[in-house]
Amino acid sequence: MRDHAGAGSGREPADLAGAPPGRGVLEGAFHLLDVLAAAEEGAGLSELARDAGLPKATTYRLLRQLAALGAVQRHGQRYFVGRRLARLADAWQPDPRLQAAAREPVRLLSALTTTVAFLTVLEEDRVRVVTATRGDITEVPPVLPGSELAEATAAGRVLLMHRPDDDDAPAGFTPAEWRRSRTSFRRSGAIAVDHQDVLPGICCVAVPVRRPDGEVVASVSALTIRPAVPAGLSELVLRASREITRNLGRIDARSAE
């Protein structure tokens, strides 16, 4: 098969060959969308084919099919993530059990400390907010469920520290910065603290949230508009984390009945 873009062989890439009918095409399409989503200024056919490791003919065919579904849009010779896919991304939903377990502890943490309190999870390499409470604090923009935070925040560092491959520096960190972050995190007893490191005048404390079996599933944070972390804030964030773990245990127990 040969398309008008000049691609030649028409053979499927090795990682799609031999897949069950339909599955290989879906895997190729999602892989292509991952590559396209990382191209903030869009990408041309040749660039996408190279970065995705796919033949140009396959890439062109997938792009046409994705464009017909509204998942990809084309402007001139460049392709972009389509509006339909963007709407689906905005409709991201967290684990409802985690959301239910965290809602009241996060609200209470914000009320007791006069901070912006929130729970985050790691979705692939994205730090996403599950639930948040800001009380009467209006000096910072709202932290909304589904929104993304930078990896360098305390919440992001807590989650990234518990990846299976935490020895490898994630995006946004040099190897030296990541080694320093890991050392500081372990010395602090698994507490990450921002001392105006991300934004001037803002400090933040974050700790991991574990399931009853010990698996880290989230981080809970308290953000304060002060030049230094208030005394006792870390302990209150730890208390909120423990309460979320207990709530998860209760929810799991009710589900098992």
List the chain pLDDT tens, one digit each, 257 residues.
Answer: 333 333 333 333 434 433 334 446 777 788 888 888 777 678 899 999 999 899 999 999 999 888 888 888 887 788 988 766 666 555 566 788 899 999 999 999 999 999 999 999 988 778 989 999 987 777 776 777 878 888 889 999 999 888 876 677 777 778 888 888 888 777 777 899 988 888 888 899 999 999 999 999 999 999 998 899 999 999 999 999 999 999 999 988 887 66
Q: Is the pTM of this model over 0.85?
A: no
- Provide, for the chain, the percentages of residues in helix, strand and coil under a 3-state DSSP scheme, each rounded to the nearest 5: 40, 20, 40
pLDDT at 183: 82
pLDDT at 2: 34
- Check: CB of residue 65 under 8 Å from CB of residue 59: no
Residues 6+ apart with CB under 8 A from 121: 94, 95, 98, 127, 128, 130, 159, 217, 218, 219
Distance (Å, whole) CA 27 – CA 12? 12
Question: CA nearest 197: which of 162, 230, 168, 223?
Answer: 223
Where in 82-189 does DSSP place strands (E)? Answer: 116-123, 126-133, 148-149
pLDDT at 104: 96
Chain center to CA of 38: 14
- Check: CB of residue 161 under 8 Å from CB of residue 211: no
